[in-house]
Structure 1
Amino acid sequence: MDMIDIIRTKRDGAALSTAQIDWVIDAYTHDRVGEEQMAALAMAVFLRGMERREIVDWTNAMIDSGSRMGWTLGKGTVDKHSTGGVGDKITLPLGPLVAAHGVAVPQLSGRGLGHTGGTLDKLEAVPGWRADLSTPEMQDILRGPGAFVAAAGADLAPADRKLYALRDVTGTVDSIPLIASSIMSKKIAEGTDALVLDVKVGSGAFMRELADARELARTMVELGEDAGVRSCALLTDMSTPLGRTVGNALEVREAVEVLAGGGPADVVELTLALAREMLTLAGVDADPADALRDGRAMDTWRAMVTAQGGDPDAPLPQARHTRDVLAERDGYVTGLDALEVGTASWRLGAGRSRKEDPVQAGAGIEIHAPLGARVTRGQRLLTLHTDTPERFDRALEVLAPVIGDTPPTPRTLIHGKID
């Protein structure tokens, strides 16, 4: 194979053959293709797209670059994956909620980068909790509490890990074929029986337009079904933050409120909607709301956290400094942009610019007046949290809540389903 010919083929809009794709992914994984050549191919894919057969081949090649996991549990497994957003702490209450119904929920997750938060970063705010689990530990937790959240091992789709880092620095992240194959290669290799996808759409998501989000969802569901993984997707709003908190420990606190039967209405609504889809795919006929009311989900959460070394009773970290953002006039909150809030939280220390950067467990933003709220002049809209107060000014540069005279159109949280 000749990498230059492969780049030219895709650059000129033609489809790559299965053999070409297999060779490229293998050669890149084993350092026989240079970063600059793979960057050129990624940009060609970004600009020219891929046919369905190419996406399937690309996904399979990335799976085959590493090992596949498998579960011997005597019960079915179902996972959920979100394409990422701002204030998206749904994984935290969702895993134990579904596991409380006797379904195993293996969740291999990642860390945040830029304005989107990472589930591992959130959970690492719990004192003692650890993300690195061996396969036997994962098996034991699935047999016991029934759910875990862990970091993916180095041998799970290693081609994707390498390619994702390249895409992040070459402006080729927002490509439907590359996003779909990246997500699904890891989820298929994870060995789950069923998968529910939460595909975000809006300013704080990779997909800002509903048509693009629908195409991404359909592509991923088809990849899952082709691989024998029962799959469906919900299209959900990410134009404004989800819930009332953005930041690691702040979001854990809110997730625990949901498990205790409270929490913001939108977080509860989406948690229950995704839980119903997961239980349906697992063949369980039950109302997940019952497990929030009767405490079973909270019991499972506590057992899950404990099994990963965490202390569910320990106080969560708090930032050393706070600053309030006040309403400048009476009216309604008509604009609270997800990207702005996510970027501000990142600048406060809740996120990272590079994968090796540390994060502040207590940094982030509390939302006192969400989209649509009626406010009066001088009322608190937001509270900013950080350990390093010199970050406040940079965070405030991007925050611009809009106060209007009339309430905005009510938010549509779930835009549709793909199955």
Structure 2
Amino acid sequence: MDARDILSKLRHDVALTADEVTWVAGALADQSLSDAQAGAFAMGVCRNGLSAQARVALTRGMCASGDVLSWDLDKPVLDKHSTGGVGDCVSLVLAPALAACGAYVPMISGRGLGHTGGTLDKLEAIPGVGVMLDEARLRAVVGQVGCAIVGATGAIAPADKRLYAVRDVTATVDSLDLITASILSKKLAAGLDGLVLDVKVGSGAFMKDVSAARDLAQALVETANAAGCPTRAVISDMSQPLVPSLGNALEVAEVMRVLRGDVQGPLVELSATLGGVLLAGAGLAADAEAGAERIKRAIADGRAAERFGAMIAALGGPVRFVEDWQRFLPEATVVREVTAQESGVVTAINGEALGLAVVGLGGGRMVESDKIDMGVGLSDVVRLGTRISKGQPLAVVHAARPAQADRAAAAVRAAITLGESAVAAPSLIVEYLG
């Protein structure tokens, strides 16, 4: 293979073969493709796309560029992936609930990206928790607890790690083909028996309209299944935050209220929906509806909380975190209500703007080296359709300094639209695929 020939074909919109794309994946991993050539490849794919066959080959090639786990367990190995949203802490509920229902869940997760929070960052809001495990420790935790939420080591899909770094600085992140291969190469490397994809759509998601979300979901499902991993997708609404809190410790607190049975709502419903799809596909439930009920029971009777607590302890966190979680989570020093300056009905919420407000508070990263303030964020964010009187709170800001709270309050007011007419609450589940 010759990189120049492959890049020339891409530039002239000539379809690449599966062998050519597989070679590129290997060359990314072993450094035989230069940074300039990797950037040209990413730009070519972004401009002209790949065939379905080539997309599968790229996914498989990047997966095979590093370690690929295999499991010898008595129950199915399952996982879920979200394309990112605000107030989305489903993984922290779903992984232990699935484990309580008899599945094994080696969930390789990520950190915050843009305006969206990262599952690993949320876990690290719990003192002592370490999410970077070697393979032996990952296997031990999964075997003992049933679930482990961890970061990808350098040995998992190194071709993807290199290509993503190139994409990040060459404005080629938003390629459907490259997004698909990036997500699935890491998931397939986990040796899964089943995967469900939560593709978000709306103001708080990367995909703002249903058509774009459907295209991504279809590409992910088709590619994953062709690569040998049984996969379905759920398109879910992100026109407002999933839970009323944004920020690492604040979202962990929402998870604990759900796991302790204190609250119901969209977090439970979406977790049950995604878990039901997985359990049905793995033969652990008669159908998705029965699977969803199993997930809800595991949450309601405390079994999911028990698994979560065991996982936190196994990752180095407090042994009695579930029983006394309020004592361990960090808190912000400035807590301030953001009040409405007029009366009306909440007709729109700009989730991306709220997410960026949290980043501005220090709850996310502006650059990769930034240290996150785990205690800051927003809580008690109003829901769509809520009628608000002047002076009532729209949200509560949790900040490190008063000036940061002032900026966040202004961002919250700008992100929440009040109107005169009542609006119907959007459906949480938009569509199923696969």
Q: Same fold (TM over 0.5)?
A: yes
Choose which of 418, 421, 424 in structure 2 pairs with 1:403: 418
2:297 maps to 290
C-alpha distance in 2, partners of 1:398/1:30? 45
Contact 2:361–2:376 (CA under 8 A) maintained in structure 1: yes
Deviates more, 1:96-105 or 1:26-35: 26-35
Contact 2:379–2:395 (CA under 8 A) maintained in structure 1: yes
> Secondary structure of 1:359's partner?
coil
TM-fit CA distance, 1:396: 4.6
Q: Report the TM-score when normalising by structure 2.
A: 0.92
Letter in 2 for 1:168: D
Letter in 2 for 1:107: M
2:359 maps to 346
Q: Does 1:413 align with 2:428?
A: yes
Q: Does 1:375 align with 2:382?
A: no
Contact 2:56–2:227 (CA under 8 A) maintained in structure 1: no
C-alpha distance in 2, partners of 1:337/1:408? 16
Q: Does 1:362 align with 2:369?
A: no
1:185 maps to 185
C-alpha distance in 2, partners of 1:19/1:109? 29
1:3-402 matches, within 5 Å, as 3-263=3-263, 265-285=265-285, 286=291, 287=293, 288-311=295-318, 312=321, 313=324, 314-396=327-409, 398-399=411-412, 400=414, 401-402=416-417
2:288 maps to none
Q: 1:305 to 1:10 in 2, by over 3 A?
A: same
C-alpha distance after superposition, 1:332-381 (max 9, x if no partner): 11121111111111111111123332111111111342221111110111
Contact 2:78–2:194 (CA under 8 A) maintained in structure 1: yes
TM-fit CA distance, 1:394: 4.4
C-alpha distance in 1, partners of 2:101/2:309? 15
C-alpha distance in 2, partners of 1:264/1:145? 25
Letter in 2 for 1:349: G
TM-fit CA distance, 1:37: 2.6
Contact 1:343–1:395 (CA under 8 A) maintained in structure 2: no
Q: 1:35 to 1:391 in 2, by over 3 A?
A: farther
Deviates more, 1:241-250 or 1:70-79: 70-79
> Secondary structure of 1:333's partner?
strand
TM-fit CA distance, 1:267: 1.3
Extract structure 1 runs of 4+ deviating beyond 6 A. Answer: none
C-alpha distance in 1, partners of 2:371/2:65? 29
Deviates more, 1:78-87 or 1:167-176: 167-176
Unaligned runs of 5+ in 2: 286-290
Unaligned runs of 5+ in 1: none
C-alpha distance in 1, partners of 2:256/2:2? 54
Letter in 1 for 2:203: S
TM-fit CA distance, 1:393: 4.6
Contact 2:397–2:409 (CA under 8 A) maintained in structure 1: no
C-alpha distance in 2, partners of 1:226/1:108? 21
TM-fit CA distance, 1:136: 2.4
Letter in 1 for 2:248: N
C-alpha distance in 2, partners of 1:330/1:397? 17
C-alpha distance in 2, partners of 1:327/1:393? 14
Contact 1:200–1:213 (CA under 8 A) maintained in structure 2: yes
TM-fit CA distance, 1:266: 1.4
C-alpha distance in 1, partners of 2:394/2:54? 48
Aligned length: 419
C-alpha distance in 2, partners of 1:202/1:105? 28
> Secondary structure of 1:79's partner?
strand
Superposition CA RMSD, Å: 1.6
C-alpha distance in 2, partners of 1:194/1:261? 28
Letter in 2 for 1:19: D
Contact 1:113–1:353 (CA under 8 A) maintained in structure 2: no
C-alpha distance in 1, partners of 2:171/2:401? 30
Letter in 2 for 1:96: P
Contact 2:203–2:349 (CA under 8 A) maintained in structure 1: no
C-alpha distance in 2, partners of 1:214/1:368? 28
